[in-house]
Each structure stands twice: as structure tokens, then as C-alpha cells.
Amino acid sequence: MSAPVRGVAGNLPRQPRRRSPSPPPRRPRHRDAGRREVVVERVVKDVGGGSYPMLTRTNYTEWSLLMKVKLQARGIWDAIELGADDYQEDRMALEAILQAVPPEMMAGLAVKRTAKEAWEAIRAMRVGSDRVRKGKVQQLKKEF
């Protein structure tokens, strides 16, 4: 009789392991537990007052800072700062901007493709006038 063949570790070759049978499936505890549903829900929090500050000819700096904080609190500032990938988020940011500008600016801003473009258009319109106003204030202080 020949000697048994030894494995690498010096042991006899292994036989395949027997697996125990799977346990029977558990019955659901609730009537609807057998169904699998994925629920996606967007939760929008309204924090603080629902109103936005109104942009005027002379308050761009203060307006932009306050709008930034309010939009950050609502989780939609990224749509303006980075440009939103999410269409719904972008529309929410544009809606907020349109609520905070005078009626004569709304038509021009509403046709912008993104909230970021609208924000940059406001900056272009108001930063120049804000700088002129501050320059006039400094000049008047010197004259005084």
C-alpha cells in the first residue's frame, strides 16, 4: 500500500468543508416589512424670518453679506458660490435673489441661466455705484 500524499503544510489534503444549510427565511414582523421601498425626500428648512433684505442703490455691501448668510442657512449658497449641479437648488437660490431685488431688476435677472450668473450681474451693477458712493463720501470728508 502506498503512503498518503501530504499537502504543503505536511498535513493530509483537505476535504471540501461541508456547509450547514441556510436557516429558513424569517417571517416579517410587520405586514409591510416584505416590501422594499426607497423613499427620497428633500427637506427644506425655513430658518428665521422668511423675508430677504431688499437691495437698494446704496446698500450692496451690507445686502450681499446678509444674503450670503441667509442662503447659507438655507443650504443653497453653494449654488451661487460654486454653481449648482442640482437644478432644484439653483432655482431656489435664484428665487431668493429675485425676492431681494427691486422690481426693475427682476426681468433682467430672471432670464439668467443660473443663480450664479444673476449674482454676478448684480455685483457688476452695484459694485461700481457702491465704489462711487464711497469715493464721494471720502471726498466730502476731506472737504469738510
Threshold 0.85, pTM exceeds: no
pLDDT single digits (tens) 109-118: 999 999 999 9
* pLDDT computed for residue 139 by the predictor: 75
- Count how many Cα atoms sit within 13 Å of the Cα of residue 40 in the half-sphere of its side chain: 0
CA distance 99 to 121: 15
pLDDT single digits (tens) 14-71: 676 667 777 777 766 666 555 667 766 665 555 445 689 999 988 999 999 999 999 9
Instruction: Indicate the average pLDDT of the chain.
Output: 79
CA distance 19 to 125: 75
